[in-house]
């Protein structure tokens, strides 16, 4: 989510259950996995099972790196390197085993001369990609940080790209979903929706799922952008109005996303029919996390501006539990091991909640939009300015 909070500068669902497969979520370095994009896998489930070792609290702080400006999105993590960018496009490649800065550069050419916000960095096939509100889509070499190509797209880019099989998919506020060749930036197809697209697309089984800012959810053929189904949530129960800033999470045969009026939806993956909805009665800008932690049912995890964090049964939409955070939840949760991480700027804390006991097991005096990612060995907390390395004790 780009910075919408006044005064504060302002998500694999393969088959029946999200797991640590799918997309580019493995790593060549022994014992590591990747978190190469916002959501970790193309289905954007925001989930990493801890099958190899315990990644759950207690955690200890090992190091921190200050980026000197708001980090609105988590870093892309691949092959033992974290690619972190602050909101002004100042990017660093950090080798995680020794925190060495491999390269550092301003990635946006800033055609206007004024810094513009950047969405989540994406690692794919040896490049790192950045999308900017000024319309620039930029690719740099992952090893050196040197520019590979730049493409100017029509409109503002608030949508984080999804990279799959040599293609990038993203949305624009000129109402287009755009498919771009990751090798050279060439536009392969565009789909025009009725409204601006601020949410980030997700991908599953050859299809792109994306929502617009006038209540619509779409499913497109990834090969050519052909519309497979569209659901206008303002014309289906529970009706209402609102746009989607929330990126879809896909799993268990359904597509999950939240409208900014606080209504959370589950759509049938094949038809787009609304399977269930759940009201939080306040704004939701973050994306859902989707996981089946051992000992729990398939669950959707999401926070609201009503100052609560919700765990909803992914099959039925019934509330399994909720947690009083103490402040509005502006961003996206992640699930690592059996711990769910969320944050609030009001409390100035990132917290971890055990998905099985529903009790808080972690807290740190840092607040961020998407507070935690992992490489399967360590955890990385994204604070307001800082990237903080944590190790299980």
Q: What is the CATH number of domain 47-392?
A: 2.130.10.10
What is the average per-residue pLDDT within 355-379?
A: 94
Q: Which residue has the higher pLDDT, 125 or 175?
A: 125
Of 265, 301, 263, 303, the residue nearest 286 (C-alpha):
303
302, 319 Cβ separation under 8 angstroms:
no
Residue 27: which pLDDT band, with cuts at 50, 70 and 90?
Answer: low
Q: What is the pLDDT of residues 36-63, one digit of tens each?
A: 999 999 999 999 998 767 899 999 999 9
- The whole-number pLDDT of residue 111 equals 52
**Angle, CA of 177, 183 and 186, to the nearest 5°:** 45
Cα–Cα distance for residue pair 203/167, rounded to 1 Å? 11
The answer, yes or no, to whether residue 163 has pLDDT greater than 50, is yes
53, 392 Cβ separation under 8 angstroms:
yes
What's the predicted TM-score (pTM) here? 0.91
What is the average per-residue pLDDT within 18-23?
A: 48
What is the average per-residue pLDDT within 75-87?
A: 95
Cα–Cα distance for residue pair 48/46, rounded to 1 Å? 7
The answer, yes or no, to whether residue 105 has pLDDT greater than 90, is no
308, 36 Cβ separation under 8 angstroms:
no
Mean of the per-residue pLDDT values of the chain? 90
What is the distance, to the nearest Å, from the Cα of residue 93 to the centroid of all Cα atoms in its chain? 19
Cα–Cα distance for residue pair 165/370, rounded to 1 Å? 26
The answer, yes or no, to whether residue 248 has pLDDT greater than 80, is yes
Q: What is the pLDDT of residues 176-231, one digit of tens each?
A: 999 999 999 999 999 999 999 999 999 999 999 999 999 999 999 999 999 999 99
Cα–Cα distance for residue pair 177/196, rounded to 1 Å? 9
Segments making up each domain of the chain, as ranges: 47-392
Cα–Cα distance for residue pair 202/211, rounded to 1 Å? 10
């Amino acid at each position: 989510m780009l910075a919408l909070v006044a005064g504060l500068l302002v998500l694999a669902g393969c088959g029946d259950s999200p797991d640590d497969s799918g997309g580019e979520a493995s790593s060549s370095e022994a014992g590591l996995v990747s978190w190469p994009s916002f959501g970790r896998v193309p289905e954007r489930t925001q989930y990493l099972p801890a099958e190899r070792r315990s990644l759950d609290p207690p955690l200890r702080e090992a190091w921190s790196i200050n980026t000197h400006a708001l980090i609105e999105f988590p870093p892309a993590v691949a092959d033992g390197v974290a690619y972190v960018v602050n909101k002004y496009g100042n990017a660093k490649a950090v080798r995680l085993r020794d925190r060495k800065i491999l390269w550092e550069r301003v990635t946006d050419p800033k055609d206007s001369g004024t810094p513009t916000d950047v969405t989540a960095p994406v690692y794919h096939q040896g490049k790192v990609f950045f999308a900017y509100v000024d319309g620039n889509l930029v690719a740099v070499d992952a090893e050196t940080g040197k520019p590979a190509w730049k493409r100017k797209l029509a409109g503002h880019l608030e949508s984080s790209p999804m990279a799959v099989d040599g293609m990038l998919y993203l949305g624009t506020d000129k109402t287009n979903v755009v498919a771009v060749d990751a090798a050279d930036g060439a536009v392969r197809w565009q789909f025009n929706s009725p409204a601006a697209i601020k949410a980030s697309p997700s991908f599953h089984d050859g299809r792109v799922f994306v929502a617009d800012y006038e209540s619509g959810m779409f499913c497109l053929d990834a090969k050519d952008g052909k519309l497979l189904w569209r659901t206008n949530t303002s014309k289906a129960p529970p009706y209402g109005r609102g746009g989607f800033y929330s990126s879809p999470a896909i799993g268990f045969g359904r597509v999950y996303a939240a409208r900014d009026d606080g209504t959370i939806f589950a759509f049938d993956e094949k038809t787009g029919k609304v399977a269930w909805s759940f009201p939080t009665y306040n704004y939701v800008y973050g994306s859902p996390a989707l996981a089946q932690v051992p000992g729990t049912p398939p669950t959707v995890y999401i926070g609201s501006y009503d100052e609560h964090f919700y765990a909803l049964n992914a099959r039925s939409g019934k509330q399994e539990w909720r947690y009083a955070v103490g402040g509005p939840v502006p961003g996206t949760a992640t699930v690592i091991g059996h711990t769910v991480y969320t944050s609030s700027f009001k409390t100035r804390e990132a917290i971890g909640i055990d998905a099985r006991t529903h009790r808080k097991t972690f807290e740190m005096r840092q607040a961020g939009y998407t507070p935690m990612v992992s490489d399967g060995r360590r955890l990385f907390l994204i604070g307001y300015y800082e990237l903080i390395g944590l190790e299980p004790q």
